[in-house]
Amino acid sequence: MSSQFFLKTNKDIELFQGYPEFNECNHTSKVSQVISSVVSPCGRFLALSTKEAVQVFCGANFETLLLEAKILDVYDIKFSPSGNFLNTWERPLTSDPEHKNVKIWFLNQEIPDATKVEPVYDYKYKSQSNWSLQYSKLDNFAMKLFSKDLRIVKLSMKEPNFDFNKPFATLSLDQDQNDQNRKFTTYLVSPSEHPTICTFMPEKSGKPAQLTIWPILEGKITKKIATKSFFKADSCQLKWNSQGNAILCLAITDFDSQNKSYYGENTLYLLSFQGVNGTLGGNSVRVPLANGPVHDFTWSPTSRQFGVIAGYMPATVAFFDMRGNIVHSLDNQSKNTMLFSPSGNYILIGGFGNLQGAVEILDRHNKFKSVAKFNATNTSVCMWSPGGEFIMTATTSPRLRVDNAVKVWHVSGNLVFVKEFKELLKVDWRSPIKVKTYTNSHVAKEMTIDQDTETAALDPKLNKSQLSIHKSVSEFAAAHPQQAANHSSANAGKGSASKPAGAYKPPHARRAGGSAGGSSVPGMTRTVPGMANKPIPGASGNTKTTSRRRKAKTPDNTDTGSSNNSVPSSSSSEASPEEKKMRSLLKKLRSIETLKQRQINGDKLEDTQVLKISTEAKVVADLKTLGWSESDA
């Protein structure tokens, strides 16, 4: 049975069971607006905040209220990696300068009364960015960045103490007199059971930026595991691999010195080490990338490889080993997102945002062979299921306020579930519970990862013939035929070498190889209703006779050879308003027929083109009002 996933709207939280049922197993509705909601990484808790309170739920379907804190205007909530601590950020009070707007709640305990729980630590932090403490993987260390140093406290799961005035370890730059006026701006703790810390200092006053990995040792930390100095770095993004022995740093400048990019310059660096806390040495390299911005970079779950999408569109997609060497690259393509499946067997590459939503699935164990393609247009959220056999895509507000929906796809590219919303704000999977807990309790026995429960909710391994498609997919296809056609157009056109019949042709090609019927459209199988077939020069037939017939005029200045049912052929200055309108409508009808043929051929259409097709009935009705009928074609 697949993992659960939850959907958040303005006032509702809906929890769904995964494949194959996709049935709703819990529905939490609030009187006031749900501001923020998040599922803990351990899978035990669901936390949400409203204007009046913060609530935490636990249980198989999040049916049990564990904690309810009556605090106002909580706009952000975060869990620690093992889920034992909940961090909340309230809007600072201007009326009370001493108001401590960040609170930490301890959840790994039996709570007799949900409304009588006090925070174990609180402090003041005005900004809503980087406000939360950082925790180690097992929640046994917590870190807080002060103005001149980084302080680390060691936590006990019985009575956690956040006394940063008496830290377990301190990391500062006081020992280096040359760096007195500089400080850490970014830091990230590794996700290993023996954690290390990576810190970043930006370039300043002609001194290079510095990236350093430190061990967590009691007292003042002075040992450096690995370090790298470089220029062109005003800020950075850090990503550890899952083993915690290598980190990628994307260095970013505010301005591009070559004036080629609005977003500045990007450079990617790799720092790694061997042994516990770098006992066998460290290494640092600059990753070779194509010129242009870095769109995405991510680690494989195996921690031995990482992938990067970089360069101007179409971008370069490449995969690297732990030494920064390229092991495989793909053809340049318009993609900006890369996601490894949790098992590492598959790799998703997609083009979202200002791209058209094309998605491709690669088999990592079969020489990066493409196993599926599908279109997920207008996607704002994309993520693998915890089992790695399904993919969730969603269109959420306020990124897009129309066509809000969640869709679940199988790794074969088949759509298996759809649910539409008037306004969908957030979606997320619920991970299987990875810590050992007491029977019928949320309290963890010990802070170690339970490898048995880690695979308890893996998705079933199915091929296309074994897939069960939820009834919501057929209902969605009936209500939105064009979107359903676009979903499968990528697979439908896969392997087709010939151009579709309705493909675009430049004007000179149309003149050179145009058909005899001037009003027929390339690739169309029938003539547009209401458009007379007029011979054109170079077509088969007696061109001279046609020319003479066009020149012969009757006293009322109309063509003697024109049919009674054809479109009036008088010039624009002589045509009546009804004739002008009819010609305009027939032109629009011809354009609609062209788009319909492209749709049949499997071409990808824009939203405006789909909307134009939907106006066909109105165009025909307007033509009939003017006296035209389909028999006139």
Predicted confidence at residue 180, as pLDDT, reads 58
Q: What is the pLDDT of residue 260?
A: 66
Q: Tens of pLDDT along 91-106?
A: 888 888 888 889 999 9
Mean pLDDT within 229-253: 90
Q: Which residue has the higher pLDDT, 277 or 23?
A: 23
Distance CA 445, CA 236 (A): 38
pLDDT confidence of residue 521: 44
Calpha distance 626→11 (Å, rounded): 50
Burial of residue 239 (CB within 10 Å: 0-12, 13-18, 19+) is middle
> Does the structure show a pLDDT above 70 at 540?
no
Is pLDDT of 558 > 60? no
At residue 39, the pLDDT reads 92
Q: In this model, does residue 431 exceed pLDDT 60?
A: yes
pLDDT for position 533: 46
Q: What is the pLDDT of residues 80-136, one digit of tens each?
A: 998 899 999 998 888 888 888 899 999 988 888 888 888 999 999 988 888 999 999
30-39, 335-344, 501-510: least confidently modelled range:
501-510
- pLDDT value for 613: 87
Residue 13 has pLDDT above 60, yes or no: yes
206-227 pLDDT per residue, tens: 888 889 999 998 889 888 888 8
Residue 79 has pLDDT above 60, yes or no: yes
Does the pLDDT at position 550 exceed 80?
Answer: no
Between 138 and 626, whose confidence is greater? 138
Question: Predicted confidence band at 561 (pLDDT cuts at 50, 70, 90)?
Answer: very low
Which pLDDT value is given to residue 408? 92
pLDDT digits (tens, 9 = 90+) for 166-191: 999 998 875 554 555 677 888 999 99
Q: Using DSSP, state whether 451 is helix, strand or coil.
A: helix
Strand order, beta sheet including 294-299? 294-299, 306-310, 315-320, 326-333
Which pLDDT belongs to residue 627? 78
Helix (H) or strand (E) holding 26: strand 24-29
pLDDT of residue 241: 92
- Return the percentage of the chain with pLDDT > 70, whole number: 80
- Residue 568 confidence (pLDDT): 45
For residue 160, cis peptide bond before it (omega within 30 degrees of 0): no
CA angle 380, 385, 387 (to 5 degrees): 165
Q: What percent of the chain has pLDDT over 90?
A: 24
Could you give the C-alpha distances from 549 to 535, 538, 552, 553, in angstroms and in order? 11, 16, 5, 8
Instruction: In whole angstroms, give the CA distance from residue 484 to residue 407.
Output: 12
Q: Is the pLDDT of residue 448 over 70?
A: no
Cβ pair 162, 153 in contact under 8 A: yes
Q: pLDDT-derived band of residue 611, with 50, 70 and 90 as boundaries?
A: confident
pLDDT one-digit tens code per residue, 245-277: 999 999 988 777 666 666 678 899 999 988 777
**Cα 309 to chain center, whole Å?**
14
Q: Please report the pLDDT score of residue 76 as a whole number.
A: 92
**Alpha carbon distance 583, 532 (integer Å):** 11
pLDDT for residue 383: 93
Helices marked H in 239-352 — which ranges?
Answer: none
Do the strands 306-310 and 294-299 form a parallel or antiparallel pair, or are they unpaired? antiparallel
Q: How confident is the model at residue 198 (pLDDT cuts 50, 70, 90)?
A: very high
Give the per-residue pLDDT at 450. Answer: 53
User: Is the pLDDT reported for residue 388 higher than 60?
Assistant: yes
Taking residues 330-336, report their average pLDDT: 90
Neighbours of 560 (CB within 10 A): 10
pLDDT > 50? residue 537:
no
String of DSSP letters for 109-163: S--S-TT----SEEE----SSS-S-EE-TTS-EEEEE-SSEEEEEE--SSS----
Average model confidence (pLDDT) across the chain: 80
